[in-house]
Structure 1
Amino acid sequence: MLFSHGLPVRKRVCHGSAAVDRQTKRLIHRVRPGQIAVINHRDLDEVAAEGLIKKKVGGVVNAAPSIGGTYPARGAGLLLEAGIPLLEDTGSEVLEKIEEGDGLCIHRDRLYHKQAGTWVEVARGRRLDRTRWQQKVEEATDHLDETLESFVANTLDYAHRERFLISRQLPIPSLITKMQGRDVVIVVRGGGYERDLRMLRPYLREANPVLVGVDGGADALLECGFRPDLILGDMDSVSDQALLAGSELVVHAYPDGRAPGLKRVERLGLAAHLIPCPGTSEDVAMLMADQEGARLIVAVGSHSHVIDFLEKGRRGMSSTLLTRIKVGPKLVDARGVHRLYSGSKKLPIREVAGLIVASAFPILALTTVNPRLFYMAKLMWLNVKILFSWV
């Protein structure tokens, strides 16, 4: 038996090998089903949680609080809904004590590490359950007004500083991908982005728009069966597979020209353009599409409200506010389109039966009053009986 050192059967929670990384979005690319993800992610966001669920992790150990208290972060609730054990607030030391591939066990509020065949306690935290999660959500909601005040103040302050985003042109290099007069679809790793992208498949096939993947959005396009024409971002959450897919690459650099993501691209032997600009990469993608003459800009998974930005660690949304003011009516935000129409493939039996009866009624009525239709129907019925040897 795997557990043989003082852990009663009725108290076992989950066990598996460790996948360790301080950055959840980086860990998601390599974690395997059944592993225990060891992360340091304060206010676990929706996209990170969905990524862990999709990878079918066996459990999650979070060195930080999954809901810090300033706003109701959504990730922990999604893990609980998926039935994934979550041990949180163990302290950052746990990432130093555990190495990739180590055997782990989450047992109540404690984390055990297998050393030389013996289970040794390595950290203590708080096992999150639905009751505690609901309590933390209520506490965070109580502090949300204060957080919103600070968020609005930061947004207005930075909007004044970054107002040139509206008045000036982006320093866009000469791109191979042409957007003039075409629809441009910009895919971002926001909440529900994969479901929205699947709903847009018919449009993508028929309209043949320019496809822009913003960092991890490029992987979403590939998983949906589409190759992005262009990948833009700081290149920290896109996979090597996506970068090597043959798309044109644009690295989003800081305003002073620093571009940490360029080193990764060059290590893969690839070339990339640089666009120095403040704000988020999705803002840059929208501004670029607008400036390049796109007829329509469709945003999938974009970040558009306060919780989105707080989950991204941003205390304001000035660049997004300015971007949407500039792009204006060209922009169609497709986020949440999967909730608009579920696309059920099966009709309920009751509705089908009702449709058949409703369709048959006028036919029966006509055969009753019209002798020709009556004899025709009688002849057809006789042929059916002969065909199936009923006579």
Structure 2
Amino acid sequence: MTDVETTSGTLSGTARVGRRTKDLTKRLTAGEVAFIDHRDLDRVAGESLVSTGVAAVVNASEFISGRYPNSGPARLDEAGILLVDAAGPEVMDLVPDGAEVTIDDGRILLEGQEVARGQIIDSAAISDRMESARDSIGSELRTFAVNTLEYIDKEADLAFEPLVLPELRTDFAGRHVLVVVRGHDYKEDLRALRPYIMEYHPVLVAVDGGADALLDVKLVPDMIIGDFDSLSAKAWECGAELVHHVHPDGRAPGREELQEQGKPYVEFIVEGTSEDAAMLLAYESRAELIVAVGTHATMVEFLDKGRAGMSSTFLTRLRLGPMLIDAKGVSQLYKGRVRRRDILLLVIAAIVVIFTVALVSDSLQLFLRTFWLYIRDLWYSITGRLS
């Protein structure tokens, strides 16, 4: 664990530099200072940074550009993490990974010398920027809708063409399938679905980083599908079947990393996102029901992912119809609490059980009669008379 020194208005710690936030979080430890270049930091990335215990996050770009209300910075601020905004792209080259840095009122100091400068943003600044982003969301929504409709027109025919399935060792036929995606509240929803998983034993399909979410709750994915850009070493070694998502135009992000790992894998060629590919693979493999956790369905969620539209997801859900159950937010449906009535009923039930056992148990009846005689003798020795 890295020691972090703080004084009034300053903070010092070890710098960890990474241009891809989700890769950087794998290297961060508590108390370090994260240097990222992530315009409009999304909620999932923010929560990942919070989970590492970093003391501060320096962003070369703007945490909130005002394009849309992204909630990542608010997550960091709520966790008490110092935020330095818009420090400039050069900071990513000027600060060596592992160097000791000091942040003093937005100035980035390396061995006492200023190498970059940003703006410290607090709760009030974040709130103001988020409010401004909400006011201007209309234009972004219009652009998003136009892009979605344009791509639907281009991709509709392709989306409903028969798919060529790879040869799989995982058997989907007649089974429930749980697709886990690294999206909003995916960890909480996954925990809430634990009773369902224990009862139905669905096929567990992880989309990239969703594999680690399953492993975190002591579940092993049967299959991992995607471009494999965010798998931990533990996920690589979990034994899941690997399916590489390849686009019809030949784009195959992650192929080099897959080949470097030396793991056997198959390719599934289909248009859309990796989560679309996961659901279509289960559907075409004759799954009985598909339950999705952490999937992206709103404009903000797609903008968080850097996507300008959601045509493939719209078409995928249209194709799956009632076979797809989106479990997003299931953890928010009911939060159990202990009520006085529940405690009273529990006590009454316990008394009834004890009384019933006493009536039918000879040994317990003997113990109670002996205990009563002892109490009566004790009372007689004190008062000189029997009760």
Q: TM-score range by the shorter chain?
A: 0.7 to 0.9
Q: What CA distance in whole angstroms lies between the structure 1 residues aligned with 2:174 and 2:236? A: 26
Q: Mind listing any 5+ residue stretches in structure 1 that lack a counterpart?
A: 363-378
Deviations 1:202-259 (A, max 9, x none): 2112211111110000111111111111100011112232122111111112322232
For 1:250-265, what aligned pairs fall within 5 Å after superposition?
250-265=243-258
Alpha-carbon distance between aligned partners in 2 of 1:188 and 1:325, rounded to the nearest angstrom: 19
In structure 1, the residue matched to 2:8 is 10
Deviation at 1:355, TM superposition (A): 3.9
Q: 1:223 aligns with which of 213, 216, 222?
A: 216
1:333 counterpart = 2:330:
no
- Match of residue 358 from structure 2: none
Distance 2:59 2:373 in 1: 73
The equivalent position to 1:136 in structure 2, one of 126, 129, 141, is: 129
8 Å CA contact retained: 2:103, 2:109: yes
Distance in 1 between the 2:106 and 2:216 partners? Answer: 37
Identity across matched positions, percent: 44
Q: Distance in 2 between matches of 1:92 and 1:383?
A: 84
* In structure 1, distance between residues paired with 2:227 and 2:198: 28
Could you tell me how far 1:352 is from its partner in structure 2? 5.1
Say whether 1:276 aligns with 2:269.
yes
1:70 maps onto 2:67 in alignment: yes
What's the C-alpha RMSD, in Å, of the aligned pairs? 2.7
Aligned to 2:32: 35
For 2:363, the equivalent position in structure 1 comes to: none
Task: Give the aligned residue type for 1:283.
Answer: D
Partner amino acid, structure 2, of 1:89: A
Q: TM-score scaled by structure 1?
A: 0.87
Pairs within 5 Å for 1:1-391: 9-12=7-10, 14-113=11-110, 115=111, 119-344=112-337, 347-348=338-339, 350-351=340-341, 354-355=344-345, 391=379
* 2: CA distance, partners of 1:224 / 1:292: 27
In the TM superposition, residue 96 of structure 1 has moved relative to its aligned partner by: 0.4
Task: Please say if residues 60 and 85 of structure 2, whose CA atoms lie closer than 8 Å, have aligned partners that are also in contact.
Answer: yes
Q: CA deviation at 1:109?
A: 1.8
**CA distance change for structure 1 residues 96 and 388 in 2, over 3 Å: closer, same or farther?**
farther
Whole-Å separation in 2 of the counterparts to 1:341 and 1:19: 39
SS at match of 1:259: coil
Change (3 A) 1:317 1:384: farther
Any conservation in 1 of the 2:4–2:55 contact (CA below 8 Å)? Answer: no
By how many angstroms is 1:360 displaced?
A: 11
Q: Which moved more, 1:252-261 or 1:36-45?
A: 252-261
3-state DSSP class of the match of 2:254? helix
What is the SS of the residue equivalent to 1:99? coil
Residues 21-50 of structure 1, C-alpha deviations (whole Å, 9 max, x = no match): 111011111211211111000110010011
For the residue of structure 1 that corresponds to 2:8, the secondary structure is helix
Equivalent AA in structure 2 for residue 10 of structure 1: S
Match of 2:51, as an amino acid?
A: K
Q: 1:77–1:133: 8 Å Cα contact kept in structure 2? A: yes
Q: Which amino acid aligns with 1:196?
A: D
String of CA shifts for 1:67-99, please: whole Å, max 9, x gaps: 111100010001111111111111111000111
- Kindly tell me: are residues 384 and 319 of structure 1, through their superposed partners in 2, closer, same or farther at Cα, counting changes over 3 Å? farther
* 8 Å CA contact retained: 1:40, 1:64: yes
Amino acid at match of 2:146: A
Contact 1:64 1:92 in 2 (8 A): yes
Other structure's SS at 1:15 match: strand
Cα distance in structure 1, aligned partners of 2:45 and 2:298: 17
> How far apart are residue 279 of structure 1 and its match?
1.5
Length-normalised TM-score, structure 2: 0.88
| Cα distance in structure 1, aligned partners of 2:282 and 2:343 | 50
Contact 2:4/2:12 (<8 A) preserved? no
Q: What SS is found at the alignment partner of 1:163?
A: helix
Tell me how far apart the structure 2 counterparts of residues 50 and 20 of structure 1 sit (CA, whole Å): 18
Distance 2:343 2:185 in 1: 35
1:385 Cα deviation after fit: 5.6
- Residue 24 and residue 388 in structure 1: after superposition, are their counterparts in 2 closer, same or farther (change >3 A)? farther
Structure 2, unaligned runs of 5 or more:
353-365, 380-387
